[in-house]
Amino acid sequence: MSTFMPMLYSAWDSDIAYSFRKSRVAVISTLLLLAMFLAAIFAPHLAPQNPFDIAELSLFDSELPPAWAEGGNPAYLLGTDTQARDVLSSIMYGMRISLVVGFASVILAAVLGVTLGLLGGFLGGIVDAVLMRIADVLLSFPPILVALLINGVLRGALPQSAQADSALIVLILSIGLTNWVQYARTVRGSTMVERRKEYIEAARTLGTGSVAIMVRHILPNVLGPVLVIATINLGMAVLTEATLSFLGVGMPPTQPSLGTLIQIGNEFLFSGIWWVVVFPAVALAVLVLAVNLLGDWLRDALNPKLR
């Protein structure tokens, strides 16, 4: 405890913390993300209804408009859908799935990309050439097409009965295996610069192995850009998941994410039940916008030229 408080004060007085306190955009984005994360994590305790529990649904309450509109019910703030599911509760539960897919796919892409980037930048030669040609091929296609291809291959390898239960894993793999290239190219460039520095030569002289040099010496010096990319890619991963679900190759209607809710609500958009699609779309837009704004601030805050 005696050492923790000085560390906390030191972190609070750092340049990054000062930049954060002075940036209204960063503070507001963080508060929005915190509120949405808490709403998603504690959805079973905060949501007015469990939209997956049939016992809590009543068809007499289906297609109710928002509470402030004519015919609305104060018990359903954002209205209900055609199956009497509370839209607000569906959004809170849907965000849980979207965020799980987003975080898991970002972690997968970061681990894979950083590992391959370190290997390519440090070893060079044919290893670097092969990895970068694979990266060039992936970058020549739009990410959503690559994700669709990987998603189709993974689904095709699974039996029909297991596809619904494995939809979450398939989405994480599809998005994660699509986004590793940015991490690999960034880490490769930084590694090629770091490996020529004197402290790396000193470590080699002392007999330190290649793996130890990459993990102990080079990796800590390339994590700054990786953190920025991961923050921005979180929004992209959530948006990619929503796109795949909207196209019908994501989460099933029995486990709806925000993208699935938009896809379901889109069928009733022109029948007057606009709130079923508008509110999940707004929640998705706010979530992605807040993540992107926070990532932009973090990129600037970690850039010494902009301090």
The pLDDT tens digits of the residues spanning 224-268 come to 888 888 988 898 999 988 888 888 887 877 778 888 888 888 887
In a domain, residue 11? The reply is no
In a domain, residue 189? The reply is yes
In a domain, residue 155? The reply is yes
Containing domain of residue 236, as a range? 25-302
In a domain, residue 137? The reply is yes
Band of pLDDT at residue 208, cut at 50, 70 and 90: confident
Domain CATH for 33:
1.10.3720.10
First to last CA, the chain: 32
Is the predicted pLDDT of residue 17 greater than 80, yes or no?
A: no
Enter the pTM of the model. Answer: 0.85
In a domain, residue 10? The reply is no
Q: What's the burial of 9, exposed, middle or buried (CB within 10 Å: 0-12/13-18/19+)?
A: exposed
Residue-averaged pLDDT of the chain = 83
| pLDDT (0 to 100) of residue 112 | 93
| pLDDT (0 to 100) of residue 306 | 53
In a domain, residue 6? The reply is no
HSE (side-chain half, CA atoms, 13 Å) at 52: 12
For 13, which DSSP code?
A: T
Helix segments in 195-274, DSSP class H: 198-205, 210-212, 219-246, 258-266
Is the predicted pLDDT of residue 157 greater than 80, yes or no?
A: no
In a domain, residue 14? The reply is no
In the predicted model, what is the mean pLDDT of residues 103-122?
91
Amino acid at 10: S
Amino acid at 33: L
Question: How many domains does the chain fold into?
Answer: 1
Q: What's the burial of 103, exposed, middle or buried (CB within 10 Å: 0-12/13-18/19+)?
A: middle
How far apart CA 102 and CA 174 sit, in angstroms, is 11
> Under a CB-based contact definition with an 8 Å cutoff, are residues 210 and 122 in contact?
yes
In a domain, residue 75? The reply is yes
